[in-house]
Structure 1
Amino acid sequence: MRRSTAERHDSGGPAARGHRQGVRGERATLTEILAEVSAQALQGETLEEVLQRIVDCITRHLPVAIASIILLDEEGTHFVQEVWAGKLELDLPFGMPWPIERGAAGRCARTGEAQLIADVEHDPDYVPGNAHVRSEYILPIRHRSRLHGVLNLEATQADFFTLEVRAMFDAVASQIAGTIHLARVVRELELANRKLEQLSMSDGLTGIANRRCFDQRLGEEWTRHLRDRRPLALLLVDVDCFKPLNDACGHLYGDECLRELARLSSTMIERDDVLVARYGGEELALLLPRSDQREARRRAEHLRRRVEKLALAHPASAIAPHVTVSIGVCAMRPGGTQSPDALIDAADRALYAAKARGRNRVVVGRAHPPGAP
């Protein structure tokens, strides 16, 4: 069967077919790289890990000697982070932060334009990272109006970065910009969510943990101490004659006294696992993991004396001319039939006894068996 002239012209000879196959191969490679770069935004736990996956992807698919991504700071004046991959070692003569007035990468950041260096020996801004590099292509990584950094590609051949190869990397740089933008948005959302979570667990007046945080932490520590068979202690601290203080000096002064008490309690903590929380009203709670009755009492007495020494004026107190506290203490080993409420109940009973005995004192309580009055 004879083909028409148009069909013969379209199919061409071996060279034309080879060219078409080469173009198709480049497109397939580009498509594969772009798809993999997009996937990295969902794979890495951190932005650095995402970027590392991207440069690994580039060097895996394309014969570049070195591929690196260099990120700018928020002001766009300094490079602050670099990740790289490749067959050659990258050893720059200076570290981060790196001002954009320096090097060909800085020139790319300053101008916002791609930089093709066909001969690195004759470029005044080229900073050698490896003696075997002969050419370099640097592209801005920009998402909308924000310049995130640059994509730096280095090759051992002077003629490597042809027009077709540069077009491929241009597309890759655009994809990287979107990926970095997405990764940063995700990170910012995570930070915002973490801040909201912290706010939801903090007391607005004193800045220490709130009741919600205390209840959650108590449940966690109770389970852990039940497993480890270690004692868990609780201090309930109450400001003596707090209502008369508010009546005499105003609620603003009462609030300030609570803040001072919270600050003092927090500064006395010597271990990271101790929780100081506002339990409610003028009461604070100190949860002491792995603490027995002796240690809990010692800490309570120390806190009571420190509050006295602080000497916050209390003109309406029947106890002293300054603010004092009563503290109920309990330490116990969680048992299988008990709940965290047993610890709270025992410390609360001890606090009530401290106030009944004249206030400004520490009383140690004992947990009641389940069902006891």
Structure 2
Amino acid sequence: MTHPTACDEYAHQQRSPWGERDASDRRAMLTEILAQVSMEALQGDTLEAVLQRIVDCVARCLPVAIASIILLNDDDTHFVQEVWSGGIGLELPIELPWPVTIGAAGRCARSGEAQLITDVQADADYVPGNRDVKSEYLVPIRHRGHLHGVLNLESTSADFFTAEVCAMFDAVALQIAGTVHLARVVRELELANRKLEQLSMSDGLTGIANRRSFDQRLVEEWQRHAQSGESLALLLVDVDCFKALNDACGHVFGDECLRELARLCAEIVDGMQAHVSRYGGEEFVLLLPGCDLDTAQQLGVDLCRRVEALAIGHPASVIANHITVSIGVSAGRPDPRQPPESLIAVADRALYLAKAGGRNAVVARSCM
């Protein structure tokens, strides 16, 4: 069971209006509110949720008509996000994002200094958000010299923002700055980790998925198809006489050929739920969920024809004067008692037969 705080006492019981509290009582309440804000900063799953809890706390615990946090973009030129709370409505000056050249909040961001407005009607930069507002206090949200945004407090009382109250909001702004900074660091780390994960699953030469990515996807699809009873197919593609091509034309030319073949493999399954990866060296593998043997074999034949149509010269080939490929195809309904690698093993045997039969061919074998 939670115990009521000084904040809750004011918010719900309101036994004594703010203006009637003595200095000691006010200081105790402000200290309690600061502690509440610290606790709210630790709650919430997202930055927006945390900031919302903070402004809700401020608006609930103090006679602040509007409490809002307005965040800046990375260049500090525009406000891009606002969360707010309060007992009266708030109308934004213009649609987000809006430039820091507008409003008292913009002046706070441009100057980097807190702005105390005791009479909003007399301030040239004030943009009315609600006609009942009499005074406003704006504090830069800054962490180690970097400005993240502005904490905006608006009151229907002209004399609410005393030096003591402003000092408390200065402290709140510092806590918000730390919260925003931490959230952005976490976001940057997540993006970096996601990028690293993508890089670890991509082939550096061709840009398609690599062997690691294929191995992971094969296990996933094998298990999924074993449960659904659908057929899973695989094409194992090998460039004919590739070593001779490298010896005759150089590795730079060979690498460019591999990139072109990778592009073609990805293109031929465009629109399908296929997974195309470089299996190793001059081999590519196409994993085809929900595909039967006949359809996979026809796809292999189409791929062979398209490779020939590229007419990439191969002066050292014993098959043709251009690049060709041999393809082994396997398909079947996965048996959960068998390892996923059995699909590769069948395709590999089919590929061997395609090569033994003279290359530039497609051989298909069922896994059943």
For the residue of structure 2 that corresponds to 1:326, the secondary structure is strand
The aligned residue for residue 253 of structure 2 is: 253
Q: Does 1:24 align with 2:46?
A: no
Q: Distance in 2 between matches of 1:272 and 1:116?
A: 61
Q: 1:299-335, CA deviations, whole angstroms, 9 ceiling, x for partnerless residues?
A: 2222222222222111111222211111111111111
Q: Distance in 1 between matches of 2:301 and 2:63?
A: 71
For the residue of structure 2 that corresponds to 1:20, the secondary structure is helix
Cα pair 2:33 2:58 within 8 Å, conserved: no
Which segment is superposed worse, 123-132 or 357-366? Answer: 123-132
- With over 3 angstroms needed to count, the CA separation of the structure-2 counterparts of 1:356 and 1:60, relative to structure 1, is farther
The aligned residue for residue 202 of structure 1 is: 202
For the residue of structure 2 that corresponds to 1:270, the secondary structure is coil
Q: 1:214-266, CA deviations, whole angstroms, 9 ceiling, x for partnerless residues?
A: 11111111111111111111111111110110010011111111111112222
Cα pair 1:345 1:367 within 8 Å, conserved: no
Q: Distance in 2 between matches of 1:182 and 1:285?
A: 42
Segments of 4+ moved more than 4 angstroms? none
The aligned residue for residue 322 of structure 1 is: 322
Q: Which amino acid aligns with 2:167?
A: A
1:53 CA drift (Å): 3.0
- With over 3 angstroms needed to count, the CA separation of the structure-2 counterparts of 1:173 and 1:239, relative to structure 1, is same
The aligned residue for residue 74 of structure 2 is: 74
The aligned residue for residue 229 of structure 2 is: 229
For the residue of structure 1 that corresponds to 2:366, the secondary structure is coil
Q: Write out aligned runs for 1:88-127 (5 A).
A: 88-127=88-127
The aligned residue for residue 262 of structure 2 is: 262
For the residue of structure 2 that corresponds to 1:133, the secondary structure is coil
Which segment is superposed worse, 105-114 or 323-332? Answer: 323-332
The runs of 5 or more residues in structure 1 that have no matched partner are 1-16, 369-373
1:18 CA drift (Å): 4.3
Q: Which amino acid aligns with 1:25?
A: M
The aligned residue for residue 155 of structure 2 is: 155
Cα pair 1:68 1:151 within 8 Å, conserved: yes
1:272 CA drift (Å): 6.3
Q: 1:193-219, CA deviations, whole angstroms, 9 ceiling, x for partnerless residues?
A: 111111111111111111111111111
The aligned residue for residue 345 of structure 2 is: 345
The aligned residue for residue 301 of structure 1 is: 301
Q: Distance in 2 between matches of 1:18 and 1:314?
A: 92
Which segment is superposed worse, 70-79 or 108-117? Answer: 70-79
Q: Which amino acid aligns with 2:38?
A: L
Cα pair 2:236 2:283 within 8 Å, conserved: yes
For the residue of structure 1 that corresponds to 2:245, the secondary structure is helix
Q: Does 1:34 align with 2:38?
A: yes
For the residue of structure 2 that corresponds to 1:59, the secondary structure is helix
Q: What number of residue pairs does the alignment pair up?
A: 349
Q: Distance in 2 between matches of 1:84 and 1:185?
A: 23
- Aligned residues with identical type, % of pairs: 66
Q: Distance in 1 between matches of 2:275 and 2:60?
A: 50
Q: Write out aligned runs for 1:128-167 (5 A).
A: 128-167=128-167
The aligned residue for residue 16 of structure 2 is: none
Which segment is superposed worse, 155-164 or 107-116? Answer: 155-164
Q: Distance in 2 between matches of 1:267 and 1:242?
A: 22
For the residue of structure 2 that corresponds to 1:363, the secondary structure is strand
- With over 3 angstroms needed to count, the CA separation of the structure-2 counterparts of 1:260 and 1:49, relative to structure 1, is farther
Cα pair 1:354 1:363 within 8 Å, conserved: yes
Q: Distance in 2 between matches of 1:85 and 1:18?
A: 27
For the residue of structure 1 that corresponds to 2:96, the secondary structure is coil
The aligned residue for residue 217 of structure 1 is: 217
Cα pair 1:33 1:61 within 8 Å, conserved: no
Cα pair 2:293 2:366 within 8 Å, conserved: no
- With over 3 angstroms needed to count, the CA separation of the structure-2 counterparts of 1:135 and 1:18, relative to structure 1, is closer
For the residue of structure 2 that corresponds to 1:365, the secondary structure is strand
The aligned residue for residue 361 of structure 1 is: 361
Cα pair 1:235 1:285 within 8 Å, conserved: yes
Q: Distance in 1 between matches of 2:232 and 2:249?
A: 37
Q: Which amino acid aligns with 2:115?
A: Q
For the residue of structure 2 that corresponds to 1:214, the secondary structure is helix
For the residue of structure 2 that corresponds to 1:83, the secondary structure is strand
For the residue of structure 2 that corresponds to 1:316, the secondary structure is coil
Q: 1:348-369, CA deviations, whole angstroms, 9 ceiling, x for partnerless residues?
A: 111111111121122111226x
Q: Which amino acid aligns with 1:169?
A: F
Q: Does 1:241 align with 2:241?
A: yes
Cα pair 2:40 2:53 within 8 Å, conserved: no
The CA RMSD over aligned residues, in Å, is 1.9
Q: Distance in 2 between matches of 1:290 and 1:354?
A: 24
Cα pair 2:40 2:50 within 8 Å, conserved: no
Cα pair 2:329 2:347 within 8 Å, conserved: yes
Q: TM-score, normalised by structure 1?
A: 0.88
Q: TM-score, normalised by structure 2?
A: 0.89
Cα pair 2:223 2:336 within 8 Å, conserved: no
For the residue of structure 2 that corresponds to 1:101, the secondary structure is coil
The aligned residue for residue 188 of structure 1 is: 188
